[in-house]
A and B are shown apart, each in its own frame.
Chain A
């Protein structure tokens, strides 16, 4: 039987490669074409728009609007760094701060919650199948419905949380305004954790099921206690999943629109104010409501750069952990 030999990377010309792998190129061509149409071209267009004074009065000129170079970038970055920017830039600064804390709390809550849930669901008990199915329920609830459900929980008058705290447990005297000012932050963080918990739980649970029982048995023979077994064996298998789900979670919560959908239906408003205004949403509002398309494009490009730098750093910092040992 002939042994397949892995050939060295060929030094053939591009034309020769194209001829050799023409079928493969043909098959991926539609995907590349679609990628170009829906990703690359709009992104390049947005980058170009960020150098234009594209606003209410110049919108119909579109890409022929007056060229302003780096003006939008210096306005945003200058304002954010000095803290002396106009109200739009101050709004972005505030949203940036909100997004940072929102993401931090949401990720921490999701990670701790899902780890506990996964460890519990990995144990053998009666009704484990049903429990695993039930855990998935919050994940299949659409984000706008998550907001509505939690609005009924947080409401000051008649809300479930206040009924529980005031009427049933008698922990507080008066109903709490959960959806106003500082409290609004956690009124949004908790439903976001609730909605995201199942995904992380299932991912961690699947990783837990790959841990061989032999390792625990060997550790027991060596005299390891429960914590040592958890830290040295279990966590070792969970690390790649934790780092990848955390990365996706940060992208979703910091750069994405998911929390916005929850917030809009939770607070019945798309203008989320001082405490829960998040970065991406602030950019969208400032761009479209003020008709400042060039400025908005510059802000979006800056966010895109931050996202790319974040992903790059994340990979380089946790490269080892992202591969199971």
Chain B
């Protein structure tokens, strides 16, 4: 009895193990049909990872891929929409040799990190020339394409920042856009005028002069950097070897921006807000101005979907970030396309990237997701330059700045971000009627600068 039990048990366990290890039954698939009429047709099964771009990410990319696959019948592209929260770690796993895509969207600030790891395909000079060359791309976007002289990504679309405001409120306080957003002084005067006017929206809610996102936002250093640049400061020195964000000019710029709360020019709960909630708050019509990107244009033009109040949608206007003593710059971010070294079909992958950076696709896709094309020919197309809302971003992008293209940018970002977040904590501790001082800003940024310098080997 015991013997037979043993035999049965062994058989059961063996069957279970064999079952677990057996190859899954795969239904026979049809071989891809080659286009015999085309000379050396491309073939391959590409996996493309994108992030949730626009209101309907899948539909937007499907429209592009349908045309690409029609042009290249031997190539099939499967898309996976990866959330921004997971994308970084999943790409990291793929770079390390794990399961991953052939082509992937990359946040521009990630390129130095993944480029240094060595898992990305390096585009040759000939391939770049086929994309129209570096001169075909907006300069601020092209600076994000590579690391240490290697081009490991191609800019796909650009995210440019500006001030969104309500034209009707500006008119009500008797100012023109030219004088209201000319420089930081006039900008502060404008916000003071809006506050003094005490206007209310259609629902009877007081219109706050400005919304600034607090410490929990995901655009903390990006938002601070624009004021820092406009006051003549920079994040790092010219060759990216030392911290520069604690210079006197930089400190003055950051103090101006962070000081708006203590001057009573922002919404009282502004420090709890993030980029999504400021978009929503502006859409309700209860704020005059805030910093944002071109993606809200589609919200204003589709109020049935976005739920924006008519007064906010009909009066949406943009202005460049006000100039400071050091100039008038804006942040240019966005996303690039990279090919993984492990991709089995690099030629098809290059063709896909080339297609997605072609003029037609650039204009159509950027329009669909509410961003700007990364190519100059795309940005200078009438679709954008003749549009009164998009044209402000096109103009602003000409003076665009972005993160430094250095291998250690990831570590630098992870040092400056907590520092700029800590400054929001100081702003909150100081209270709504005490503007943050330059000394407070300087102390926090000096501390972060010492860390960055040590990370950069100084």
Task: Give A contacts to B, CB under 8 Å.
Answer: 22-23, 26-27, 29-30, 56-57, 59-60, 62, 86-87, 91, 155-157, 175, 177, 179-181, 267-271, 273-275, 285-286, 288-291
CB < 8 Å neighbour of A271 from B271, B421, B451: B421
Complex contact A30–B429 (CB within 8 A): no
CB < 8 Å neighbour of A57 from B216, B274, B407: B407
CB < 8 Å neighbour of A180 from B16, B113, B271: B271
Number of A-B contacts (CB under 8 A): 101
| Min C-beta distance of A85 to chain B, whole Å | 11
- C-alpha gap A186/B413 in the complex (Å): 29
24 contacts between A and B (CB under 8 A): A23-B5, A26-B13, A27-B9, A56-B117, A56-B410, A57-B117, A59-B96, A60-B96, A60-B97, A87-B451, A155-B272, A156-B272, A157-B267, A157-B268, A157-B272, A177-B428, A180-B215, A181-B425, A269-B217, A269-B274, A274-B425, A286-B414, A289-B410, A291-B411
- C-alpha gap A30/B415 in the complex (Å): 46
Q: Does B448 contact A (CB under 8 A)?
A: yes
Closest 4 CB pairs between A and B? A269-B216, A156-B269, A87-B451, A157-B269
Complex contact A268–B216 (CB within 8 A): yes
| Min C-beta distance of B72 to chain A, whole Å | 32
Complex contact A175–B268 (CB within 8 A): yes
Residue among B422, B428, B429 with the most chain A CB within 10 A?
B428
CB < 8 Å neighbour of B269 from A177, A275, A286: A177
- C-alpha gap A289/B408 in the complex (Å): 11
Q: Which residues of A contact B66 (CB under 8 A)?
A: none
- C-alpha gap A220/B97 in the complex (Å): 72
Q: Does B119 contact A (CB under 8 A)?
A: yes
Contacts A23-B5, A86-B454, A87-B415 hold; do A273 and B422 have CB atoms under 8 A apart? yes
- C-alpha gap A322/B266 in the complex (Å): 56
- C-alpha gap A3/B5 in the complex (Å): 26
Q: Which residues of A contact B5 (CB under 8 A)?
A: 23
| Min C-beta distance of B95 to chain A, whole Å | 8
Complex contact A26–B10 (CB within 8 A): yes
Complex contact B425–A87 (CB within 8 A): no
Q: Which residues of B contact A177 (CB under 8 A)?
A: 269, 271-272, 428
Complex contact B215–A273 (CB within 8 A): yes
B99-113 near A? 1/0 per residue, CB < 8 Å = 000000000000001
Contacts A60-B119, A267-B216 hold; do A289 and B414 have CB atoms under 8 A apart? yes
Q: Which residues of B contact A269 (CB under 8 A)?
A: 215-218, 274
B260-300 near A? 1/0 per residue, CB < 8 Å = 00000001110110101100000000000000000000000
For A156, the closest partner residue in chain B by CB is B269
- C-alpha gap A268/B113 in the complex (Å): 25
Complex contact B418–A59 (CB within 8 A): no
Q: Which residues of A contact B10 (CB under 8 A)?
A: 26
CB < 8 Å neighbour of A23 from B9, B274, B415: B9
- C-alpha gap A288/B16 in the complex (Å): 38
Contacts A290-B410, A291-B410 hold; do A271 and B272 have CB atoms under 8 A apart? no
CB < 8 Å neighbour of A87 from B216, B276, B447: B447
Contacts A59-B96, A267-B216 hold; do A23 and B6 have CB atoms under 8 A apart? yes
For A30, the closest partner residue in chain B by CB is B13
- C-alpha gap A22/B13 in the complex (Å): 14
Complex contact A156–B215 (CB within 8 A): no
CB < 8 Å neighbour of A179 from B116, B272, B414, B421: B272
Complex contact B9–A26 (CB within 8 A): yes
Q: Which residues of B contact A155 (CB under 8 A)?
A: 269, 272
| Min C-beta distance of B273 to chain A, whole Å | 9
For B412, the closest partner residue in chain A by CB is A290
